Amino acid sequence: MSRIVIIGGGIAGLSAAARLAPLGQVTVLEAEPALATHASGRSAAAFIEDYGNATVRALNRASLRHLSDHAGGVLSRRGVLLVARADQADSFASDRIDMGMDDISVPEACDMVPILNRDTVAHAAYRADVMDLDTDLLIQNFTRDARASGARIVTGVRVDAIARANAGWTVRWKDGVADADIVVNAAGAWADHVARMAGIAPLGLQPYRRSMAQLPAPEGHDVTAWPLFEGVDSAWYAKPGAGKLTVSPAEEDPMDAHDAFTDDMVVAEGLARYSEMVTTPVTRVETTWAGLRTFAPDRALVIGPDATMPSFFWCAAQGGYGFQTAPAASQLLGDLVAGRAPELPGDVVTALSPARFG
Ligand SMILES: Cc1cc2nc3c(=O)[nH]c(=O)nc-3n(C[C@H](O)[C@H](O)[C@H](O)COP(=O)(O)OP(=O)(O)OC[C@H]3O[C@@H](n4cnc5c(N)ncnc54)[C@H](O)[C@@H]3O)c2cc1C
């Protein structure tokens, strides 16, 4: 039975563990004391089928059934509303087409989100099939499935050396060591760093910070049934949930891998862009946080064996869609490790392969 060490206990590593545990003896090593501490604990928790490039959209579509049905499903209806000023007509038109949304009138938009400012909102479009994705539940489900198939999940273990040993690998940390036939690199923003540790060329993955500010629900409003609403050109978005409104400046600021934190100025500027389109002023920010969305240069995930070292698998570059792609991405990883014909079409598998970087 293959010994498989997975480095990283976020959604990438845990979904990988669920798929690989039936195939071998899986150990997940996570540096932090708790699972899903970094990007996977900080997301907007949405499923948007037409988000990302064509390769990512293929993963979104292929993940939908698992997300809807497995263990009772993790999706619930939210919808998305795009709003724009009169002078943003061109951006509105291209965003609306890109996201497959239907034009609606401003009064219809205000019926959905009553705080929209009729003096500034001149265009609106809507799409109903955008979902809330219960990220905690998805993590729990994959973790439970992995453990049920015998996976060992260890937290508080920061891998600091990975060496070739015979046909496999020796993975070391401060006070421990594990031998493996296969290493899976699911280290999120640190994936290139982990590759270097193993003597493998990095792929040029780039983490970008994205921040969130949680506001109380605007006074007198029940936000439960509001859609996610957003400005054009990815200038800001606001997501209702649990009686709160979470507003993101939707920034993409390149960063080195680290425990991300917000920049007050970036959050304030994002809240100003949001405020321009609503009638209720932001009087209180309850909490803020930031996470790193890590992208490959072509913005598709990287799933598969390293081009130079077939026992080193990448499960990285989940970008801004790591949850909504996790079922299909981890299924592909399982297919490739097992040597099965992948369920995904060949062109998608090629577009996800680490070998595409030459
Ligand atoms: C603000 C924001 C909003 C988002 N919104 C959405 C959304 O709506 N929908 C969606 O699908 N996605 C969304 N995402 C993206 C999603 O959160 C990420 O794609 C996903 O969480 C990445 O998961 P991961 O497991 O690759 O990374 P991480 O969750 O960061 O996990 C990697 C783990 O590897 C560990 N690690 C690193 N180095 C080592 C080492 N040497 N030894 C041991 N462990 C190590 C780290 O501690 C970390 O826990 C959002 C992200 C952000 C930041």
Regarding whether 152 and 107 lie in a shared domain, the answer is no
Q: What domain range is 94 assigned to?
A: 80-127+206-295
Nearest to 5 by CA among 140, 174, 144, 198: 198
As to burial, measured by CB atoms within 10 angstroms (0-12 exposed, 13-18 middle, 19+ buried), residue 151 is buried
Nearest to 276 by CA among 222, 236, 246: 236
Residue 186 CB–ligand 1 contact under 6 Å? yes
For residue 177, the tally of other CB atoms under 10 A from its CB is 10
Mean confidence (pLDDT) of the chain: 98
pLDDT given for residue 242 in this prediction: 87
> Alpha-carbon distance 268 to 265, whole Å?
5
Residue 303 CB–ligand 1 contact under 6 Å? no
Regarding whether 142 and 23 lie in a shared domain, the answer is yes
Q: Which atom of ligand 1 is nearest to the CA of 289?
A: 1
Regarding whether 255 and 240 lie in a shared domain, the answer is yes
Quick check: is 67 in a domain?
Answer: no
How many structural domains compose the chain? 2
pLDDT surpasses 90 at 101? yes
Distance 189 CA to ligand 1 centre (A): 7
Regarding whether 284 and 212 lie in a shared domain, the answer is yes
Regarding whether 262 and 220 lie in a shared domain, the answer is yes
Strand partners, 303: 315
Rg (the chain; Cα; Å) = 21
Q: Which atom of ligand 1 is nearest to the CA of 37?
A: 49
pLDDT given for residue 166 in this prediction: 84
Regarding whether 215 and 188 lie in a shared domain, the answer is no
> Alpha-carbon distance 53 to 50, whole Å?
8
Give the residue carrying structure tokens 């304030």.
268
For range 309-320, the mean pLDDT: 98
> Alpha-carbon distance 283 to 79, whole Å?
26
pLDDT given for residue 167 in this prediction: 85
Tokens describing residue 153: 């999940």
Q: pLDDT tens digit string along 174-209?
A: 999 999 999 999 999 999 999 999 999 999 999 999
pLDDT surpasses 90 at 94? yes
pLDDT given for residue 311 in this prediction: 97
Tokens describing residue 333: 């990883």
> Alpha-carbon distance 87 to 108, whole Å?
20
pLDDT given for residue 358 in this prediction: 81
Residue 15 CB–ligand 1 contact under 6 Å? no
Ligand 1 atom 12 nearest Cα: 321
Q: pLDDT tens digit string along 140-164?
A: 999 999 999 999 999 999 999 999 9
Quick check: is 303 in a domain?
Answer: yes
Distance 186 CA to ligand 1 centre (A): 9
293, 294, 299, 301: residue to mutate for ligand 1 pocket, most atoms within 8 A of CB: 293
Q: pLDDT tens digit string along 261-308?
A: 999 999 999 999 999 999 999 999 999 999 999 999 999 999 999 999
